[in-house]
A and B are shown apart, each in its own frame.
Chain A
């Protein structure tokens, strides 16, 4: 009787299919597994883009579905990157230290000190801070990828939602959070190498494969994470939980009067999406090779909102389309490969003007096409929402206007 999850959500199958074809195509065109039409750096860019699509899904859940305009989710993304980066850097440094001192046996303490001075020499220190206690253990750092951003989101969300901070005030608060975190990490005393950040993350310890291969593997991992993230998000929004999320977005008070603990739901969504963002970050930064506190600057989280808005919020594939399209176009424009436009009196340099173009696109989409890029999918699928002109259907004319609305 009841149609299955996939039957009710045909977009999920389409999404997974397109993602699989995309990943397969890139793989077969890469240096490692094909003729090398797509350069390794391009494979990395595409792999990173898939991670951005994953955090866009998180943003769509929290903003597009629940109506919480969080402008701080890149803080969780960055924290996830830092957590995995600590292990990558520690292990690699350990391997280097051991290799260079292979003739002399070292005590564990000497080894620890050597690693410390290697990593922290750049900020004039040689001691490994306490937060690096677990850096030698991959399982522990993987756990921290989820735990640290998750707990931060829980504490922050609990404080904010409990006091019923909502709307623009909440957005400002999340901006403050990501700014504070970024400023804190900029300090050398934070124990994460200050503004140097963590580097050399593209080298995976214990992996003898070259970058050509490992970049494709990371592409696969990113695609898998995106697929799982999409499935999870689609399953959540398809059920009653999704109904409640959209209810909170459209009329929070009404949801309360139905007996739902709105704050609990918000906190749940906020923390869950923080964890998704962190996982995306943990996959992103090994491909980027470097992470520094600048990545958590407030503007990054604002871009995230722009992607989701341009893609079309309130739809998972909209968020993915927005993040993919905008970040690919963005890296094309800012990559310096787009020819300048000489106007005689002025030369348009796209590196500078791309931001203006993006801002304009954001404004236009918000005003003219609230469904964003995903509206194109409607166009193809032949779906059209009725023209209502924003006016509520009146008590008597309602049945008449309804006929029009049905067209």
Chain B
């Protein structure tokens, strides 16, 4: 398969490696995703899932390899976190990280797609359109009646939803979601699944998850990571039938 401009690949990660103090966290890993695709990334602890996300979002620089983005085949390794986020990559962390000291509205307003430079932000005023958009997103994530509350007062599950709402407000082309279902009730999990599947219709979504049941419900292509590289890729049934995957997950 040829990869590059115009072939429908949104993100192309190829041959990246990174080591921390001699420990190879990522080892010659390659990964591609199209513009409207849902992908689950699974793997045992220490498989390099989070480091992989760190590299794509610019938090960690790989020792070798390339990360290319979008139609213009942009080299993401030359960009910093903020520039990568502005290019259209949104990230949801494992623990809900919302700004607890600020209201739900303020959290969403901050995330809302708009100019990000200090001068522009200084003179930015929320218009009716922005209010409507915030209300719409809040309704979408079930926080419509929580807008004036401080984010710190929300329950754990609500914080998760708020963070997802903030991601929606950013209008990213690629969403990296780290364990979205952690700490959610069954009903919330189902709602999350539905939302992620829905989102993947218009953009790329990468879900990192431990929970196999959750991944099964996502019903998408699965990439299995192990010791910093891709062990298997395919449908969930395909990868769970793979001997090496069974070995990694169930122990030798």
Residues of A within 8 A of B (CB): 1-2, 236, 239-241, 243-244, 246-247, 250-251, 253-254, 256-262, 264-265, 268, 386, 388, 392-396, 398-399, 402, 405-406
Contact = CB atoms under 8 A, between A and B. Distances in A.
Interface of B: 57, 59, 80-83, 85-86, 90-91, 93, 97, 99-102, 106, 109-111, 116-118, 121-122, 124-126, 128, 131, 152-158, 166, 170, 183-185
B102 A261 contact: no
Contact of B85 (A246, A250, A256, A399): A256
Contact of B110 (A236, A258, A393): A258
Contacts of B93: 254
Nearest to B160: A395
A227 to B, nearest CB: 20
A2 B134 CA distance: 14
Nearest to B112: A240
Given A256-B85, A259-B85, A239 B117 contact: no
A260 B82 contact: yes
Given A394-B183, A398-B156, 10 more contacts: A239-B121, A240-B109, A241-B118, A241-B124, A246-B99, A250-B100, A258-B111, A259-B82, A259-B83, A398-B155
Contact of A247 (B99, B156, B158, B185): B99
Contact of A394 (B90, B118, B153, B156): B156
B117 A395 contact: no
A265 B118 CA distance: 6
A257 B118 contact: no
B162 to A, nearest CB: 12
A246 B102 contact: yes
Contacts of A241: 118, 121-122, 124
B185 A239 contact: no
A243 B99 contact: yes
Most buried by B among A259, A260, A405: A259
Contacts of A236: 122
A402 B152 CA distance: 10
A268 B118 contact: yes
B99 A254 contact: yes
A250 B153 CA distance: 16
Contacts of B80: 256
A236 B99 CA distance: 18
Contact of A243 (B57, B97, B109, B131): B109
A386 B152 CA distance: 10
